[in-house]
Structure 1
Amino acid sequence: MSVLQDLLEALRSRRVEVVDLTAPLHPGTPILQLPEPFANTIPLRLEEISRYDDRGPAWYWNDIHTGEHTGTHFDAPVHWVTGRDGEDISQVPAERLVAPAVVLDFAAESAKDPDFLLEISHVRAWEAEHGPLPDGGWLLYRTGWDARSEDAAQFLNADENGPHTPGISAECARWLAEETPILGVGVETVGTDAGGAHSFDPPFPCHSFLLGAGKYGLTQLQNLARLPATGAVVITGPLPIVGGSGSPARVLALVEGE
């Protein structure tokens, strides 16, 4: 039996499970809210073209109005000024859209402190228990934030001082970008950076360091609790928008059954 035939049989027999890591995309999907004077993206809006009527008697379809960075989405290097000479979303090599993944689970810490930050020491302690970060793979950072995804106010968790959501320290972001072999970082929050990252040095260090290093970001993931610490394979499906800085994406994980 060929490798691909074996995979298909494993999927049919549920020896390999497909876990959807994608948040459903609808007009109420939480989106990033930048303060004035910065411009913001728009939420999803469908504009009906026809629906089994005189505009088209046998078919239903819509025009889509939304931003590249809405819902579960993929950040390409060109999204950030540090990666301005890097790949746009259409240039991400197809082979990088299928990659191994590890899950670092800090949901308990984030439940106690919504401003919790992942530090290098946390990652090194995880490696001591589970082994090295995957070469050419994803670091998926679980914070439990996906439980808030249907309530924009809870998800963004903002007050007069700005949003409070967990993330990665500037030191750790630089280290992940420059000294580890990972492909990119995936998170459950609205962006790869912490809610308070506007005040970090540099501001928004995950964007600055990772995209500047030609790595990628995945945001607003769900169901990371269903993945093992190691061993999953992640398939990402962004739209290959020529010149695009990112794209909403369908993100799936393949997980071996017990």
Structure 2
Amino acid sequence: MTLLVQLAEAVAAGTIEVVDLTAPLSHETPILHLPEPFNNTVQFSLREISRYDERGPAWYWNDIVTGEHVGTHFDAPVHWITGRDGEDVSQVAPRRLIGPAVVLDASERAAQDPDHLLQVEDVREWESKYGPLPEGGWLLYRTGWDARAGDQAAFLNANETGPHSPGFSVECAKWLAEETPLQGIGVETVGTDAGAAHSFDPPFPCHSSMLGAGKYGLTQLRNLDRLPARGAVLIAAPLPIVRGSGSPARVLALVEH
């Protein structure tokens, strides 16, 4: 029996669970809000073409209106100025959309401090318990932020000083990008960077470092609490948009029971 047949049978039998890490995509999906004078993305919406009526008696379909970086989405290197000569989303090799995933849980600390930043020593501590970060893998950063996803205001968590949500320190982002074998990071928040990352030096260090190194980002994930610290396999499926800086994505994890 081949490995692929064994995999298919294990999925059918439920000994390998398929966990959906994707947030539902609708007009209520929270989106990033940049201050003036910067332009912002549009919210997701459906524009009905026909629905079993005179416009099309036997079929229902819609046009969709959305931005590349709305909801659970994939960041390609070309999304950031440091990766401007890198891949667009259509150029990402399919084999790089599948890889081992590890989960680092900082949800208790983020509950106490919404501006909590992951540090290099936090990842080193995780490695001392669970082993080295996987080659070609994904680090998924669990903060519990997905519990806020049904409320735009709570999800962005902004006040007069700007948004407040957890993320990565400048040093950690640079280290993950340049000194680890990871191919990407995934978060539950609206973007891979902390809410206050506009004030960091450099600003938005995850975008700057990870995408500049030809690595990837996944955002607005959910159900990370259903994954083990180590052992899951992640599948990310963005649309292959030519010249696209990113895409809404269906993100799945395979977990063995």
Q: Is structure 2 residue 182 aligned with structure 1 residue 185?
A: no
Aligned residue number for residue 120 of structure 1: 120
* Within-5 A mapping of 1:131-170: 131-170=131-170
Please state whether the residue corresponding to 2:248 is helix, strand or coil.
strand
Q: How do 1:24-35 and structure 2 match up within 5 A?
A: 24-35=24-35
Aligned equivalents of 2:21, 2:112: Cα separation in 1:
24
Aligned-pair CA distance for 1:45: 1.1
User: Who is 1:246 aligned against?
Assistant: 246
The residue type equivalent to 2:105 in the other structure is D
Name the counterpart of 1:45: 45
Q: TM-score, normalised by structure 1?
A: 0.99
Tell me which residue corresponds to 2:70.
Answer: 70
User: Structure 1 CA distance, aligned partners of 2:127 and 2:188?
Assistant: 21
- Output the CA distance in 2 between the equivalents of 1:99 and 1:50: 39
SS class of match (1:231)? strand
TM-score by length of 2: 1.00
CA deviations on 1:70-118 (whole Å, 9 max, x unpaired) are 0000000000000000000000000011110000000000000000000
State the SS of the aligned residue for 1:211.
helix
Inter-partner Cα distance in structure 2 for 1:13 and 1:49: 39
User: Secondary structure of the residue that 2:135 maps to in structure 1?
Assistant: coil
- Report the Cα distance in structure 2 between the residues aligned to 1:9 and 1:49, rounded to whole angstroms: 39
Pairwise CA distance, 1:13 = 1.3
Equivalences for residues 188-207 of structure 1 within 5 A: 188-207=188-207
Paired residue total: 257
For residues 23-73 of structure 1, what are the alpha-carbon distances to aligned partners after superposition, in whole Å with 9 as ceiling and x for unaligned? 000001000000000000000011000111111111100001010000000
Distance 1:96 1:71 in 2: 21
Structure-2 residue corresponding to 1:105? 105
Supply the distance in 1 between the matched residues of 2:142 and 2:129 (Cα, whole angstroms): 17
> What is the rounded CA distance, in whole Å, between the counterparts of 2:28 and 2:35 in structure 1?
20
TM-superposed CA distance for 1:9, in Å, is: 1.0
Runs of 5+ unmatched residues, structure 2 = none
Tell me, in whole angstroms, the C-alpha distance in 2 between the residues paired with 1:186 and 1:10. 26
Which runs of 5 or more structure 1 residues have no equivalent in the other structure?
Answer: none
Shift of 1:12: 1.3
